[in-house]
Structure 1
């Protein structure tokens, strides 16, 4: 999450990555050109155990799959996820290595039909090959350069705790041998930093830099009296939800490291004082878990039945919240003057959804793919808020309307007309990937609103909206429930780390075809909504 107080430009997050790396779909074997990988073939829900077994089976056959899709002899596939459809189609997501080195931008999805036909969705189309895997520059040179990059971002307390690793950088065109260095520290606003810097191993030129910290019964501050999942300890109760993967909520007590202290209560009636923020965060995590489980068939962030954890009361007057893959956790500040904790429901769901994106498409947090990453969290954060049906925080198409991050009662972002926040874009344009990802998310948020509710002036659940279109033509909505399923299937089945807006359009059309048919009204509506934000 980020408000106007945290706007900043970053040359490190330019559009270069996505502008040249749109998703490429390649036909293999007898798949007809332009064919969809399924037809009204929604995914079958797999238990965590079934999913784990499917991933293991995919890994066992990875060498044969690599040969079947035409990869080179030095390339290997590492299975990450498997989705099975009712019609027998299997979608397997892989990372790639070359001569034992990770290929950044090498991720792909193999769509295998029951009759043996295959299609492949690749993050990049370039052939993966480099003249040598022996670096001309020492790793120490890459580390020194990465530390300078972090310092240029005004990060403090910087350190590279692990030596740079050799990789193949392929996300922006011709593959090159490179180093990836992870620099940890603290950003200007107090958010932790985990900056991944990619450096050419022959020239020392910086190729890419990516910030991985994605910002984003009890009575709480926002949600009123709600039911909480707790665990009896014999001497009281802990905020540990045994029914949802063991999710725990901790009090950092204004600290900025570690897990803090697990919330404990004597009588299992929570709320008041420091507990209120914990109640909201714990409730937000539970509601988000339930939404993904009951609506989308996903069991936890990794779809493995295991929960993340939450930390509240981070830092002093910290005006943000963030998801971190490193700790697999959500963290919330207490807001300006420590008066408005950032633990509202849509914020909680927003942060957890960053974890879902990381464990599915892996959209890089830069350029257009970064905007789509942020939009995904806004889309599902909004979806969870509607799903909760909580009278204390009614469903709407406003982001962060409860936390007053701007200090004037206004929302953080608006989905019906994103530009109302003064920085986000309503429509796609060629320079979209050059702006902050929190604002390049605007067109995708706008697409979600238009496809859900349609264009024009209307009042929904007590909130007035007036959504425009790029060409002035009216657009009709198909309802949130369908849009949520379309975006989720596109994210988990067709998007990759480098997906840009044009590729997102292709992915959602494929998803709509799978779920509703290629000649359905839903398919046509998806296309019309993209046209309405200037993506054709």
Structure 2
């Protein structure tokens, strides 16, 4: 089931709502290897409780006006604090959204990095000065809505309708600020996935500036992971798939529906499923188990307390639609949703799919990488990277860790994985290396160079066998790359995502962000820092 990149049916549209079209990373950024001092002791993020994080964001908002002045923003610009990361050495990284004359600025996000001694750097999604001649629109909201509906029609969206009125915004993601209307058209994509198509229309000329799809397609007996332990709630003869230890995560049965929450799974003896798709609980077991593994991974490895880092869980929905061969994450419900696959016999609920879905939520609540062009490829790669990380950490003997994506769900129907991280082009569509045309391909295929980078950084180039799986990873320039180990590579990518990347980060910006992260964690010029540089060169990002 591998449609060409020009169609909307892509292989496993692992989903999140996103914003904006991709442009270059701008602002103050880290330089090449050797350009940063060695890290101070403890130069990495410390875990904040949900209360501490909320207090930090509130305090950052109280200082937003001061920060705006320090950054030299215009009189009509304001900052809205969205997230705060604190390092053990006292450095604080504050992520802001921007408004202009009260209007949201799409593509105006930035991160302020302030050291304990008061020195400050900033990473901006756009270097452009945010200003427009007027905030009065020449094109009406109604006209913008009609334009958005035409865009949805061109995408063959069924049951298309613009539920909410278009909102007036400043569009800055392409580096040329313009007054615009953002319209969200809901409906159904070709493969049955819900659609939330965002269309940005120039409020002066009526020209379409951008569009992106807001929903995209990443003890019980499970189907893919054997007998597993589940977090459930209840007693006596009444139990539910409610994991109180992980933010109250719940798993629901949609029973073929395509909206709502369906029915919370219940059971009389707290023994769930039988490992077969014919038992409705089985898909629930896999989804619930995958969500728990992903929660634990982010908590224990990165100190992240849930998708939003606020201690509250998302929820899962299984048995979506009829023979729906897909899965998706949606911010609008803050949930993961899984179909049962072709013939309703292969639910898309394996460990790596669950981790991929939840990671889209993490990206949506950190860098918010735009789901188009190179930024969209980095968004997809981020979900693949942490899906592999979760799978390896799970150490499940039935579904062992590997650098293959979706190898259990057989979405192609021929037993092959969905994607390969060691040599992405093995799937027939993905790119192994960066090129100037990368941004024009489907985001599931433009993810290839980043997936390849992560594999090379973790394991190195050449032929090898890991957990019984054979790999043979090439390099663009033919030079050998020595890996630093997956654990370090994961730490570097996570810090880059949460501290240095913005909504408009492209591959060049991802290289800069990961070099900054490696310098922070291991020191500028360290073996790890040099390995990041070498791995990017190996996928033609220099």
Residue of structure 1 equivalent to 2:133: 131
Residue of structure 2 equivalent to 1:472: 478
Q: Spell out the pairing of 1:224-373 with structure 2 (5 A cutoff).
A: 224-232=226-234, 235-272=237-274, 273-373=279-379
How far did 1:115 drift? 1.0
Bigger relative CO (Cα 8 Å, ≥ 6 apart):
2
**1:415 and 2:427 equivalent?**
no
Q: 2:467 aligns with which of 458, 461, 465?
A: 461
Instruction: State how far apart, in whole Å, the 1-side matches of 2:273 and 2:198 are.
Output: 39
Residue of structure 1 equivalent to 2:382: 376
Q: 1:447 aligns with which of 450, 453, 456?
A: 453
Evaluate the alpha carbon distance shift between residue 233 and residue 76 of structure 1 in structure 2; reply closer, same or farther with a 3 A threshold: farther
CA-to-partner distance for each residue in 1:273-302, whole Å, 9 max, x for gaps?
A: 000000000000000000000011100000
How far did 1:36 drift? 6.8
Q: 1:495 aligns with which of 498, 501, 504?
A: 501
Instruction: State how far apart, in whole Å, the 2-side matches of 1:6 and 1:362 are.
Output: 26
Residue of structure 2 equivalent to 1:88: 90
Instruction: State how far apart, in whole Å, the 2-side matches of 1:175 and 1:68 are.
Output: 21
CA-to-partner distance for each residue in 1:154-208, whole Å, 9 max, x for gaps?
A: 1101111100000000000210000000111000000000111100001100000
How far did 1:53 drift? 0.4
CA contact (8 A) 1:166 1:178 kept: yes
Q: 2:528 aligns with which of 514, 522, 527?
A: 522
Instruction: State how far apart, in whole Å, the 2-side matches of 1:39 and 1:328 are.
Output: 37
Runs of at least 4 residues of structure 1 off by over 6 A?
none
CA contact (8 A) 1:322 1:332 kept: yes
Residue of structure 2 equivalent to 1:217: 219
CA contact (8 A) 2:27 2:126 kept: no
Instruction: State how far apart, in whole Å, the 2-side matches of 1:483 and 1:345 are.
Output: 20
How far did 1:126 drift? 0.2
**1:118 and 2:125 equivalent?**
no
Instruction: State how far apart, in whole Å, the 1-side matches of 2:247 and 2:487 are.
Output: 25
Q: 1:172 aligns with which of 140, 161, 174?
A: 174
Residue of structure 1 equivalent to 2:52: 50
Instruction: State how far apart, in whole Å, the 2-side matches of 1:7 and 1:191 are.
Output: 17
**1:160 and 2:166 equivalent?**
no
Instruction: State how far apart, in whole Å, the 1-side matches of 2:68 and 2:39 are.
Output: 22
Q: Spell out the pairing of 1:22-37 with structure 2 (5 A cutoff).
A: 22-26=24-28, 35=36
Return 5+ residue gaps in structure 2 as ranges: 9-19
CA contact (8 A) 1:89 1:111 kept: yes
Instruction: State how far apart, in whole Å, the 2-side matches of 1:78 and 1:42 are.
Output: 24
CA contact (8 A) 1:321 1:330 kept: yes
CA contact (8 A) 1:36 1:510 kept: no
Residue of structure 2 equivalent to 1:398: 404
Instruction: State how far apart, in whole Å, the 1-side matches of 2:208 and 2:265 are.
Output: 44
> Which stretch shows the higher mean deviation, 392-401 or 206-215?
206-215
How far did 1:8 drift? 3.4
CA-to-partner distance for each residue in 1:463-491, whole Å, 9 max, x for gaps?
A: 00000000000000000000000000000
How far did 1:214 drift? 2.5
CA contact (8 A) 1:39 1:518 kept: no
Q: 2:431 aligns with which of 425, 438, 447?
A: 425
Residue of structure 1 equivalent to 2:200: 198
Instruction: State how far apart, in whole Å, the 1-side matches of 2:212 and 2:282 are.
Output: 34
Residue of structure 1 equivalent to 2:70: 68
Return 5+ residue gaps in structure 1 as ranges: 11-15, 28-32
CA contact (8 A) 1:5 1:406 kept: no
Q: How many residues align?
A: 522
Secondary structure in 2 matching 1:376: helix
CA-to-partner distance for each residue in 1:238-265, whole Å, 9 max, x for gaps?
A: 0000000000000000111111000000
How far did 1:215 drift? 1.6
Residue of structure 1 equivalent to 2:2: 4
Evaluate the alpha carbon distance shift between residue 454 and residue 356 of structure 1 in structure 2; reply closer, same or farther with a 3 A threshold: same
CA-to-partner distance for each residue in 1:386-410, whole Å, 9 max, x for gaps?
A: 0100001000000000000000000
Evaluate the alpha carbon distance shift between residue 252 and residue 114 of structure 1 in structure 2; reply closer, same or farther with a 3 A threshold: same
CA contact (8 A) 2:326 2:348 kept: yes
Evaluate the alpha carbon distance shift between residue 165 and residue 202 of structure 1 in structure 2; reply closer, same or farther with a 3 A threshold: same
Residue of structure 2 equivalent to 1:13: none
Instruction: State how far apart, in whole Å, the 2-side matches of 1:453 and 1:290 are.
Output: 24
Instruction: State how far apart, in whole Å, the 2-side matches of 1:485 and 1:317 are.
Output: 38
Secondary structure in 1 matching 2:471: strand
Instruction: State how far apart, in whole Å, the 1-side matches of 2:244 and 2:515 are.
Output: 38
Residue of structure 1 equivalent to 2:17: none
Secondary structure in 2 matching 1:406: coil
Instruction: State how far apart, in whole Å, the 2-side matches of 1:37 and 1:123 are.
Output: 26
Instruction: State how far apart, in whole Å, the 2-side matches of 1:190 and 1:328 are.
Output: 19
Please give the TM-score of this superposition, normalised by the length of structure 1: 0.96
Instruction: State how far apart, in whole Å, the 1-side matches of 2:28 and 2:267 are.
Output: 56
Instruction: State how far apart, in whole Å, the 2-side matches of 1:225 and 1:61 are.
Output: 51
Instruction: State how far apart, in whole Å, the 1-side matches of 2:189 and 2:37 are.
Output: 44
How far did 1:17 drift? 3.9
CA-to-partner distance for each residue in 1:26-58, whole Å, 9 max, x for gaps?
A: 38xxxxx96579656111111111111000000
